[in-house]
Amino acid sequence: MNIIFMAINLAFALIIAPLIDGFERKVRARLQNRRGPSIFQTWWDLIKLFRRPSIEPRDSVKSFYIMAPYLTFTAILTACLILPTLLPHSLNFAGDLIVVIYMVSLATFGFSIGAFSSGNPYAQIGSSRELSLFMSEELVLAFVVGVIALISRSLSFEHLFPLPLRISSILALALLFVIIYVTSSRIPFDIPEAEPEIIEGPLIEYSGRHLALLLYFIHLKRFLLYGLFLNFILPEKPGIRIGGFLIGLVILSLVYSSLEAYYGRFRIDQAIRLMKKLSFVAFIVWIMAMVGW
């Protein structure tokens, strides 16, 4: 039965992740006094791209360029199998939180490798920014994971959800909320893409099904991070949890898309300075968890 529940979770992730992006596009449009596309528009875009052939740049390192979208998509799918989402069932083993973080990191690494191997200087600049921002996020995330592990005395989802409420756990969840916003490449942290400046950055040379896989990865990554946050705060009772998970997805989408609608873009140095400040805050929260707060 657990395999069936995991299959339901995976199918739900695959279907709902593009719809969440479509919903957020609609919210941003309304906040900016525009009508906006249908919430199904992201799905129509993906289907159109999957039907088209991929074009390989002449100057690319073809083996890495072709491998990167498949590596990225496979890694994020694996993470979706491990993390419980709609139903509280998944692959349970010691340290599965660390494995999910590694899978998301591997997907980001594959995303950057594809951009570097394309041979396009704009893609390489975008990939460099992606890795710089990623490394600055990881320090904050490491302290957050440290706080969660100290409070729960475990790195397994079976013992982590829901997270006991303390001052340090509430602050850690607040930091996780910010990190999810940053790692989702939302304005003002969409520095790697920077459409007016480097024309989509890492994605500039990708087309067809390869571009569809990378865009699908971005949507699934956002859904996965939403699910991780919600698992820490939702109760264990199945009926309440399912309803709470669906409502939580809508609330997070509304909050994040509303924030995104009113920001300009950061420079990469501004974003990294902000991450350094958050790292210091995360370190203080970790000290608080160490002393039992």
- Total number of domains constituting the chain: 1
What is d(CA 293, CA 285) in angstroms, rounded to the nearest whole number? Answer: 9
Q: Is the pLDDT of residue 4 over 90?
A: no
Residue 244 is encoded by which pair of tokens? Answer: 């709470």
Nearest to 128 by CA among 230, 198, 55: 198
Under the banding of pLDDT at 50, 70 and 90, the label for residue 136 is confident
What is d(CA 21, CA 11) in angstroms, rounded to the nearest whole number? Answer: 17
Which whole number is the average pLDDT over 55-78? 86
Residue 158: what pLDDT? 76
What is d(CA 193, CA 280) in angstroms, rounded to the nearest whole number? Answer: 27
For 202-218, write each residue's pLDDT tens digit: 777 788 898 899 899 98
Residue 221: what pLDDT? 92
Residue 220: what pLDDT? 93
Q: Is the pLDDT of residue 43 over 90?
A: yes
Residue 18: what pLDDT? 93
Under the banding of pLDDT at 50, 70 and 90, the label for residue 197 is low
Q: How far is CA 219 from the centre of its chain?
A: 8
Residue 220 sits at φ, ψ, to 5 deg, of -65, -35
Residue with more model confidence, 68 or 163 = 68
Residue with more model confidence, 46 or 190 = 46
Query: Domain containing 175: what range?
Result: 2-290
Residue 216: what pLDDT? 93
Residue 203: what pLDDT? 78
Under the banding of pLDDT at 50, 70 and 90, the label for residue 124 is confident
Q: What is the mean pLDDT of the chain?
A: 83
For 27-41, write each residue's pLDDT tens digit: 888 888 888 788 899
What is d(CA 205, CA 106) in angstroms, rounded to the nearest whole number? Answer: 21
Q: Is the pLDDT of residue 1 over 60?
A: no
Q: Is the pLDDT of residue 195 over 70?
A: no
Contact 92, 158 (CB under 8 A): yes
CA dihedral over 183, 141, 160, 147, signed as positive or negative = negative
All residues at 6 or more sequence positions from 241 whose CB lies less than 8 Å from its CB, including other chains: 88, 234, 235
Under the banding of pLDDT at 50, 70 and 90, the label for residue 194 is low
Weakest-pLDDT range from 1-5, 38-42, 65-69, 151-155: 1-5
Residue 53 is encoded by which pair of tokens? Answer: 């052939």
Q: Is the pLDDT of residue 260 over 70?
A: yes
Percent of the chain whose predicted confidence (pLDDT) is above 70: 94
Percent of the chain whose predicted confidence (pLDDT) is above 90: 14
Residue 70: what pLDDT? 92
Nearest to 36 by CA among 26, 47, 22: 26
Under the banding of pLDDT at 50, 70 and 90, the label for residue 199 is low
Q: Is the pLDDT of residue 198 over 70?
A: no
Nearest to 185 by CA among 216, 219, 232, 208: 219
**165: region left, alpha or beta (phi > 0 left; psi from -120 to 50 alpha):** beta
Residue 75: what pLDDT? 92
H-type alpha helices, the chain: 2-31, 41-51, 62-82, 96-116, 121-152, 157-160, 167-183, 195-198, 208-233, 238-261, 268-290
What is d(CA 87, CA 210) in angstroms, rounded to the nearest whole number? Answer: 30
Residue 204: what pLDDT? 78
